[in-house]
A and B are shown apart, each in its own frame.
Chain A
Amino acid sequence: MMSSDPEQARCYKEVSVIGNGAYGTVYKAIDLKNEGQFVAMKNIRIQNSEEGIPMSAIREISSLRQLEKYEHPNIVRLLDVQFGNTSSEEVGLTLVFEYIDQDLATFLERSSSLGSEKIRDLMQQLLTGVDFLHSNRIVHRDLKPQNILITRGGRLKLADFGLARVYGFQMILTSVVVTLWYRAPEVILQARYATPVDSWSVGCIFGELFIRRPMFCGQSDIDQLMKIFEVVGLPAKSEWPDTVSLPWTSFKALSPQPLDRIITDLDPQAKDLLEKFLVFNPHQRICAYDALNHPYFKDDLDSLRTSSSLSVSESDSSITDSRSDTPVSK
């Protein structure tokens, strides 16, 4: 009966393990029905009960399905949803995504210095993707270089979003440590949070593109907050969320450091934007949409993207140095 439906009849052959994350294993596989194209498969298990499968799981997976119709260029394609073993307690699902062999972390390892135009291009793509998710009422919650993918052609695509509550169920069952480095302070403090958490992560990644190592490498929740406060300063007591258990007084007073001391060669517009991301108070943090309209992006990127100058060269850095409010012609 199922085989009458072409979509159900697709077959995939696993070739290797791509990653072992906190949320389970991701496989690289071949789509046998589609000229042997590579795909990335992620197995998830969702709770099953007498009331059927949870509303959150249905809503999250079906909203990913609905997002697909926009085919947004900065979002990884969800190609297929396969059903696996089903019992009265659990339903196994396999989400099949397009396969992209490189994430931002490996991209950074492979390339030497990026150059300011490439950074700007990546940031614009990153923010365009994040803004798309936010305008569809999805908070990524876990943006980091490992789930930002970069295609051969230099296209940036976001992955691993929209399944926080589906994963939430599995997270209890795993002991793999989730990285804290890109977490917004309100998440670490377990206060209420919304879309601004993604802006924080974008800020952390922005800084990392320049210094080529994470901005804040905390070893624990407290350590992560200390590392953040060492840079942005201890927020005023009035800014401290009142619903959190960790008291403001447990941190020593620190004043903010100028970001261009931490990141050398940071041009004024980039510095201004980065400062607007790394704001403790989520209500005052810049949103993705406003960030895209920041003067940092005002030059026409499209013409740059089509030219072959995206790899870094000496001439690039000289342009960077001379860049001012007037556009530089090439």
Chain B
Amino acid sequence: MGDSEAKVHFHVVRFIHEAGMKLHLKSIPLSTASLIYHMFFQKNSLREFDPYLIATTALYLSGKTEEAHVKLRDVINVCYRTLHKTKPPLEMGELFWALRDSVSNCELFILRMLQFRVMLDHPHKYLLHYLKFIRDWFEPYKWDNLPITRTAWAILRDSYHGSVSLHYPAEHVAIAVLYLTFESLGVEPPHTNVCRSPWWKVFAEDVTLERIKSIIIEITKTYELEDSVS
């Protein structure tokens, strides 16, 4: 993927998150929408498809796959408003009907393109489980003074600007996010020095430090991208 394409995708995923929040979609449907978007553009070119149509449809579709159904009408109005902040809100009329037809046809097209592979395993549930687990290793006062949970959750959300969750198993991404959290806060999980095996081995037998590092490199690329687009 070229650098300019990556920048477009970065903006579009930000759009997905912004519109999705306005639609009250929770983390999982938002993450699914981002991945559907990324999967689509792994197979297709930006020259042929409008990324915002794909993004809008991905939002609508993820509401369905994650059982958080939003009305197509609301998706169109919110996405239109998010995309055209200076224009007046969309009126019920020809443009609205045309957009609605586009999205519902596009939904079918994406399902066809992705062969219905739109139900995905996300790192969220693993990360939540690991965080709960690792919290018990810390002294309570120490844990309360560290923004570990918040930082980890933010890193995970940000990672969806890229497609790291498509390339690695969800457990491994969750571990890497936690690893990066500790690194960026400059903390070590308790008893690190006395343990015979590293903390992450508890959560996934098959993960290696090498794997963790390559996931982290992919995640940090997103932040470099953010610096270059803003």
B72 touches A58 (CB 8 A): no
* B-chain residues with CB within 8 Å of residue A59 when the two chains form the complex: 64-65, 67, 119
- Taken together as a complex, chains A and B put the C-alpha atoms of A65 and B121 apart, in Å, by 12
Contact of A62 among B71, B107, B108, B119 (CB under 8 A): B119
B117 touches A62 (CB 8 A): yes
Which of B43, B103, B107, B112 has the most chain A CB atoms inside 10 A of its CB?
B112
Against B, the Cβ 8 Å flags (1 = close, 0 = not) of A111-136 are 00000000000000000000000000
- A71 to B: closest C-beta gap in Å: 15
For chain B, the count of residues having a C-beta within 8 Å of the partner chain is: 25
A50 touches B111 (CB 8 A): no
B112 touches A58 (CB 8 A): no
B43 touches A62 (CB 8 A): no
Chain A contact residues (Cβ within 8 angstroms of B): what range? Answer: 20 to 34
- B100 to A: closest C-beta gap in Å: 7
A91 touches B119 (CB 8 A): no
- A66 to B: closest C-beta gap in Å: 4
- Taken together as a complex, chains A and B put the C-alpha atoms of A240 and B69 apart, in Å, by 36
- Taken together as a complex, chains A and B put the C-alpha atoms of A287 and B121 apart, in Å, by 26
B112 touches A50 (CB 8 A): no
- A163 to B: closest C-beta gap in Å: 12
- Taken together as a complex, chains A and B put the C-alpha atoms of A91 and B105 apart, in Å, by 11
Q: Is B152 an interface residue (CB 8 A)?
A: no
A8 touches B119 (CB 8 A): no
B115 touches A52 (CB 8 A): no
* B-chain residues with CB within 8 Å of residue A61 when the two chains form the complex: 116
- A sample of 28 inter-chain contacts (CB < 8 A) reads A5-B113, A8-B112, A8-B115, A50-B104, A51-B71, A51-B104, A52-B61, A52-B64, A52-B108, A53-B107, A53-B108, A55-B64, A55-B65, A55-B67, A58-B61, A58-B65, A58-B111, A59-B64, A59-B65, A62-B116, A62-B118, A64-B116, A66-B119, A80-B115, A81-B115, A81-B116, A83-B112, A91-B108
A-B pairs, top 8 by smallest CB distance, nearest first, are A62-B119, A55-B64, A52-B104, A66-B119, A52-B107, A61-B116, A62-B118, A62-B116
